[in-house]
Amino acid sequence: NAGVTQTPKFQVLKTGQSMTLQCAQDMNHEYMSWYRQDPGMGLRLIHYSVGAGITDQGEVPNGYNVSRSTTEDFPLRLLSAAPSQTSVYFCASSYLGSDLAQYFGPGTRLLVL
Amino acid sequence: SQQGEEDPQALSIQEGENATMNCSYKTSINNLQWYRQNSGRGLVHLILIRSNEREKHSGRLRVTLDTSKKSSSLLITASRAADTASYFCASAGTASKLTFGTGTRLQVTL
Q: Cite the beta strand spans of B4-97 per DSSP E.
A: 5-7, 10-14, 19-24, 31-37, 43-50, 55-58, 61-66, 71-76, 85-92
Residue-level length of chain A: 113
Residue-level length of chain B: 110
Q: What is the pLDDT of residues B6-51, one digit of tens each?
A: 889 999 999 999 999 999 999 899 999 999 999 989 999 999 999 9
User: How distant is the Cα of B102 from the closest Cα of chain A, in angstroms?
Assistant: 4
* pLDDT surpasses 70 at A31: yes
Over residues A60-73, the mean pLDDT reads 97
> Are A95 and A31 spatial neighbours (Cβ–Cβ below 8 Å)?
yes
User: How distant is the Cα of A110 from the closest Cα of chain B, in angstroms?
Assistant: 13
> Are A47 and A71 spatial neighbours (Cβ–Cβ below 8 Å)?
no
Is the Cβ of B29 closer than 8 Å to some Cβ of chain A?
A: no
For A42, the closest of B31, B96, B103 (CB atoms) is: B103
Over residues B84-93, the mean pLDDT reads 95
For chain A, what percent of residues have pLDDT higher than 90? 90
Is the Cβ of B39 closer than 8 Å to some Cβ of chain A?
A: no
Q: Among A14-18, A28-32, A57-61, B94-98, name the one with the lowest average pLDDT.
A: B94-98
User: How distant is the Cα of B95 from the closest Cα of chain A, in angstroms?
Assistant: 10
Cross-chain Cβ contact B43/A31 below 8 Å: no
Q: pLDDT band for position B95 (50/70/90)?
A: confident
pLDDT at position A96: 86
CB within 8 Å of B66: residues ≥ 6 apart: B54, B72
pLDDT at position B4: 75
> Are B20 and B42 spatial neighbours (Cβ–Cβ below 8 Å)?
no
